[in-house]
Amino acid sequence: MRRGISEEDPNVAPLRDFIFPHPYSEAEKELQEAGLAHLLSFGKVKLGGVNVIGKGKSGVVALTEDLNVVKIRRSDSPKRCLKFEARMQERAIGVAPRVLNYGCHFILMEYIKGRELMRTEGIDVIIQVLRAGFSLDQLEIEHREITRPWGNVLIGDKRAFIIDFEDARPSPSPTNFVRLFSAFRRSLLNASLHNKYI
């Protein structure tokens, strides 16, 4: 069993297997120059013959051999480069996973051992998430995808982490805290209405 990994011991697979939907030389070259020739088949999302942690419209997220996480730009991504996203995530120090390295086609970051945010969280987790949103506001970063936070927040052992800075922008008056508060309020209201009519 590898350090901090709870699934079956993952298999090593060639980098090319993780470049989706088809490999392209610019990404392969940049990742190999960063020392990433192989990745681990690990996660709940199936991607051809390998498993990954996540797959979105602009990238695939996979586990590295030294147990960090890499986001690889999809070959069909509408974004031509991930550098701006990486810089926004770097700026979100203490709120987002730490960025270790990046290029146009990848962002290498620390692996957060945790779980996804659920709609039925206790008050202690809600407070952690709201604190993370407030911290982002203090750093003058508008996340822009936090209105529905269930896909953009990880709950670690001691705190919440905000992830996926794909659409984030600098802002002198961000609204992350307010958006998170509204999302939790809506979720709690919907749950109480649902329970009322069961």
Digit-coded pLDDT (tens) for 99-128? 999 999 999 999 999 999 998 899 999 999
Contacts of 93 (CB under 8 A, 6+ apart): 139
Digit-coded pLDDT (tens) for 3-57? 455 455 679 999 999 999 999 999 999 999 999 999 999 999 999 999 999 999 9
Residue 42 near residue 69, CB atoms below 8 Å: no
Burial environment of residue 53 by CB neighbours within 10 A (0 to 12, 13 to 18, 19 or more): middle
Burial environment of residue 38 by CB neighbours within 10 A (0 to 12, 13 to 18, 19 or more): middle
Digit-coded pLDDT (tens) for 51-94? 999 999 999 999 999 999 999 999 999 999 999 999 999 999 99
CA distance 4 to 99: 19
Q: Is the torsion defined by CA of 176, 180, 181, 183 positive or negative?
A: positive
pTM of the entire predicted model: 0.90
Residue 40 near residue 64, CB atoms below 8 Å: yes
Q: Specify the pLDDT at position 187.
A: 86
Contacts of 150 (CB under 8 A, 6+ apart): 116, 117, 118, 119
How is residue 55 written in tokens? 């797959």
Per-residue DSSP letter, 94? T
Rg of the chain over Cα atoms, rounded to whole angstroms, equals 18
Q: Specify the pLDDT at position 52.
A: 98
Q: Looking up tokens 């681990």, which residue turns up?
A: 40
